[in-house]
Structure 1
Amino acid sequence: MSTHDDDSESANQLIRDRDLAELLEWFQHNENLPQEIEPLLLRRFYQCMYGVVEDTKQLIELNYALRNKHPHLFIKRDPLDDDSRRTFDYADILPLPGLTPDKYKVSLYCFRDFEPSKMHHTEDTRAFFMVTDCRFITPDDAAHPDVLSVGEVQIFDMKGTTMRHISRLTISTLRAYVKFLQLAFPVRLKAIHMVNCPTYLDRIVSVVKPFISEEVFKLIRFHTSSIDTLYEFVPRDMLPEEYGGSAGPLATLRAQTQKVLADKREYLMNPQHWYVEKQEKRNGRSWRLF
């Protein structure tokens, strides 16, 4: 790297540090926000908005407004309670290790038990957001902890999905989930891959498509003939053994994810990170005049 590149990198670093300090100060004195935010999460919001401070502020306020509008999904939660255990007993919600060559983070969602009565859509959605909230305060790539993902790739394994599963969707939960993902996520959604698609895929799509924006629907790729087409987008070394990859068995990835949830339980349940107090926020320090 040349001296000029070094100088440019140093200048960018100074700008980023200054902007993040400004954003943290703004966050701590904003009555529409919780009391605390993890530095890595703040960085994700900032990067998601390409380093534009005002856009970052808007995204942050929308994120916490939606959380507080749906506290049963985003705030009132416990990764070790019975609802969470039921979800994690029948389904996997797994961030996969490392980043793609495009610096995208990949997550996998699949059933382990195909019995439709095991599915509880609202509780399952709450579990999904607990996993992602833990992920957002954890480095994306253990080998390069300073490198943040610039995009989100989701893999949904449709194996075992029936219309009975689809009938158990809760419309209000689906709306909240899609809206949060489309408008308030601190990482940009880049692709959604549906693998092991059933023959009645068109019926499933017809149910959920009305809740998905055209922009997001264009990101969905349906892998109908073989999982081999997935390898064009996600490196095999990031995928579990069960999907032809070398990232270890699902059981190991599952145990790692559950350990993170247990370790971060206090963070997930701490209202100071999520809950917006309506009146006299911050112990009466509501002194700002507008």
Structure 2
Amino acid sequence: MSSDSESENQLRRDRDLAELNEWFYTNENLPQEIDPLLLRRFYQCMYCHVEDTKKLIEVNYALRNKHPHLFIKRDPLDEDSRRTFEYADILPLPGLTPDKYKVSLYCFRDFEPSKMHHTEDTRAFFMVTDCRFVTVDDEAHKEQLSEGEVQIFDMKGTTMRHISRLTISTLRAYIKFLQLAFPVRLKAIHMVNCPTYLDRIVSVVKPFISDEVFKLIKFHTSSIDSLYAFVPRDMLPEEYGGSAGSLATLRAQTQQVLAEKRDYLMNPNHWVVEKPEKRNGKSWKLFN
């Protein structure tokens, strides 16, 4: 691409983002504030299409305000959050893949099913992602936004007792938000260390997942080595054959970010819609 074309594209992006920013701050059906980096993510997610970006933003905040116990009434340092982070890891991994995708890892640290509290755990998941969306994706290239999202779920230790502790209303809200309102494009979901009774687990959760999303799921049933074809080893924790540091180190980094962003996460100006209106959402171009 020529420098002239790059300059024209940058001017258009700046103009579009200025329009979106003004629209956001004058829209009484949205919160009072939005972080500039989060606004950029919405815009990029919609392939830089202004009107589609507006629709995605409205759906995002409508769903947040419909489920305040998951998205608004929260504290990353309270007892519920401490309990989640003691038994499970929710970790954005450093850097980006060669395709410029951001990778996150989810795994149990304690396999006792009674430690699982699905609604509180889901709230913690969204706090981690909300922090990530206002944090640069790659320290080496701070202006580079991820082009998509890759999720790794480690199923080691997962039993049917864990599945029995799922809260259906929370699962529905989680899946709906992921499919309709996430400010990034979901590219792949990798399930590693799958148990032999995987088909039973899938049969429980599949009714809540759209065919579009289910096609993105890859089950690694024999060895974690097959994951390396999709995620570079240097992005993975040492415990997964990578060189991105230990789980303990990545966990400490994530907890530090949560503590630093606590005021942001709990500030109603960023999340609460004072005059919510009913809206009919539909699936946007999140998966292309």
TM-score (norm 2): 0.95
- Counterpart of 1:34 in structure 2 is 31
Aligned counterpart in structure 2 of residue 246 of structure 1, from 243, 248, 268: 243
Aligned counterpart in structure 2 of residue 133 of structure 1, from 112, 130, 135: 130
Distance 1:51 1:248 in 2: 35
Aligned counterpart in structure 2 of residue 97 of structure 1, from 94, 103, 111: 94
Gaps of 5+ in 2: 277-288
SS at match of 1:67: helix
Distance 1:31 1:176 in 2: 24
Aligned counterpart in structure 2 of residue 112 of structure 1, from 104, 109, 114: 109
Counting aligned pairs with the same residue, the percent is 88
Aligned residues: CA RMSD = 0.7
Give the CA deviation at 1:97: 0.2
- Counterpart of 1:68 in structure 2 is 65
Structure 2 residue 89 is the aligned partner of structure 1 residue 87: no
Structure 2 residue 49 is the aligned partner of structure 1 residue 52: yes
Aligned residues: 276
SS at match of 2:272: coil
Distance 1:31 1:150 in 2: 30
Q: Which residues of 2 match residues 169-180 of structure 1 at below 5 A?
A: 169-180=166-177
Distance 2:157 2:151 in 1: 18
Distance 1:9 1:92 in 2: 40
Q: Give runs of ≥4 in structure 1 deviating > 3 Å.
A: none
Structure 2 residue 19 is the aligned partner of structure 1 residue 19: no
Aligned counterpart in structure 2 of residue 153 of structure 1, from 141, 150, 154: 150
- Counterpart of 1:283 in structure 2 is none
Aligned counterpart in structure 2 of residue 163 of structure 1, from 123, 144, 160: 160
Structure 2 residue 202 is the aligned partner of structure 1 residue 219: no
Distance 2:123 2:3 in 1: 44
Distance 2:72 2:142 in 1: 28
Gaps of 5+ in 1: 280-290
Structure 2 residue 198 is the aligned partner of structure 1 residue 201: yes
TM-score (norm 1): 0.95
Distance 2:10 2:192 in 1: 40
